[in-house]
Amino acid sequence: MKKLIYLSILAATILAACGPQATPTMNPADVQATAFSAASTMVAMTQAAIPTATPLPPTDTPAPTPLPTQTLPVLATVPISAQPTLVPTKSGTDNCVHVLDMGEAGPTRPVMVQNQSGGALNLSLNLYKPNDFGQCGAISYANVAKGSKFMIQIPSGYWYAYAWITLKSGSSTSSGSFYIQLANEDKQNLIIGKETIVLTP
């Protein structure tokens, strides 16, 4: 009978060993430790993903912006009757680079200025050496319209004429020299061309 009991226990043990396994249960402390470990890992990974604070590279300090240059305003049209002007630059010796003193330069002669240059112009007339009255200097006329004619009065002496011409295709200059005789009272014509300036009877 003892044999039978042993065999029964052995058979029960074998049968129990071959049967399905029971589901293991976890200890609550182990579950808490695992959750804490997972949370710590996520926090560490989040911290690692945050970029480190690196200093910004230095930026160039902008140079001061230059002030805009002023453009000269367009000169107003000078009426024919207006007196010519030029800024005086007289120095110790009379180099004739100053405004001509028309009151001291002696009698004047009529001259008809004719702009045949094909554009508007600025005209400078320079009595470049002292005349019979010891006077020299310059007079000028601004914004002489294309094709215009006007009368001026100038004293006798050696003159140099220079014109700055504004054309549709750009700009040009014109020049020439002439002599006004003291005794001549006849009207003369100062013809301003595209390249030359001539005095004709």
Q: pLDDT tens digit string along 67-79? A: 666 665 555 554 4
Query: Using 50, 70 and 90 to split pLDDT, how confident is the model at 173?
Result: very high
CA distance 163 to 79: 18
Mean pLDDT of 49-65: 64
**Which of 34-48, 61-75, 101-115, 149-163 bottoms out in mean pLDDT, i.e. has the lowest?**
34-48
What does the alpha-carbon distance between residue 28 and residue 59 come to, in Å, rounded to a whole number?
58
pLDDT value of position 182: 81
Average pLDDT of the chain, as a whole number: 76
**The whole model's pTM is what?**
0.53
Residue 199 has pLDDT above 60, yes or no: yes
